Structure 1
Amino acid sequence: MQALLVIILINAFIFILCALVALSGQFLRQSGEADLTVNKASTRPVRRGQSLLPALAEADVFLPAACGGKGTCGRCEVKVIAGGSAVTPMETILLSPQHLNALSRLACQVKIRQNIEIEVAESLLVAKLLRARLETSQNVAEDIKTLQFSVQGNAELAFKPGQYLQVFYQMPWERVLRAYSISSPASVKNGFSFDVQRVSGGVVSSYLHQLQPGVEIEVSGPFGEMFLSDEHVQRPIILVAGGVGLAPLRSIL
């Protein structure tokens, strides 16, 4: 009986040891660095285990992600030539079979586990990173503030009325982004404003609501295809919105 118990304990120990080895191997594969190559032109090391979207931001490639990288807007489309992770269910919904067969992926859904090579449309490479300082914060409605920022470093922000910027916020374990429409006129090049509604449980909206004048943030952009074009101004237009949905319309008006 004792011999049988010893055999069971030894087998259990071996099983646990094998499981720990497998888990440690998986951890090691997902930790450390991998090489990210963009358009065969630049390669730089990025942290494994993160999604491709923030990794590209670290490489100064800023993609549109109106949903904040949650995989629901389908805007951060790239081509993964080599090294991509498995296609996610969300991608099968937002991307057609033709797109998937052509190697198209959503950057927010791709996990970096090894060296990866991608292609990004040249039209998406125009967005840039800006530092902006909060100048004023004004309550305009219940849980809604208008925040006025000035662009730092002698930079200028050229955008079209109706476009948006993405705000970066560093959490302890990851860097997140959220999209906010620009509510100021496009004629102002050295600053911009947001109309921000505090969302219950919203990390970035709560952060922006408690932000004090003089504090700087990082934004990328501009992004967005819903903007006022020269064709639109040639004829009467009707704009309909409510709440913070008025923000891009304020820029258009």
Structure 2
Amino acid sequence: MSLTKDAIQLITDTALEATGKKLETLVPTVVLPESAKVIDLERFQAGRSRFRGTYSTHSLADFGAYIVERAAPGARGFINQDEMSCGLLFNLGTAAVPGHADDRAILRLKATAGYTAAQAIGGRGISQKDLSDWIEDWHQYLTPVDEAGSPIPVAKAIAAVRTITIKASSESETTVGETSASRSAMDQIEARSKETLPVSLQFRTVPYEGLIEQQITLRLSVITSGAVPVLKLRWVGEEVQREDIAQEFKAVLQRNIGEAAVLSLGAFDPK
């Protein structure tokens, strides 16, 4: 009695389903027929096989409290200072005993409204009306100062911005000699205001919840190349101040977490 090809394949598949041939590989594997299915029985259990999930928040305080509550041996956190975020893995494990790295907590700090406004206004040209409106909207955060560093009342600073005028003047000089003649011309453009125009705006705000208040110096300049003046605010020492804020973020986070987890600068991809 001879067996058909399909009958032989059926006998082989049945044998593989019953035993599952193991392969000598570093990662445990078995040989099963294409018709076989792997079924996860976890959903039929009273509980999960292990705790896993991702906790996400914008609150530095809540993140720290969660880490302390869930403190686990070998927990590791990775801080991205450019994005002001931290990803923490409770079950990362070690090189000798690796974990699944699927029990996580993610912190992404959210900039406050004041800090967002200070970042948005810096470095771009704006009109007199736009700047005066901006000063009026954020006056509770602002202290305008003059060249001597003395405070200027906000109302007077707004009036000074609104009443800027451009004055242009020309001067020419002609020199005549026995065999030569020369002529020079100079144009002078000056921006003036009826009120004392602030040299800079001191903007005080907490950049992110949980961090200390920062004073951002926005230096005012007037561009007179066009028919109407264009105003620009420059954040003085922006890069240095951003680095200080990022360093404070790491220090506060480490203080809140304590010994519940080890923190490192950088990123980790648990693929």
The alignment's TM-score, normalised by the length of structure 2, stands at: 0.18
The structure whose Rg is larger is 2
Report 1 or 2 for greater relative contact order, CA contacts < 8 Å, sequence distance ≥ 6. 2
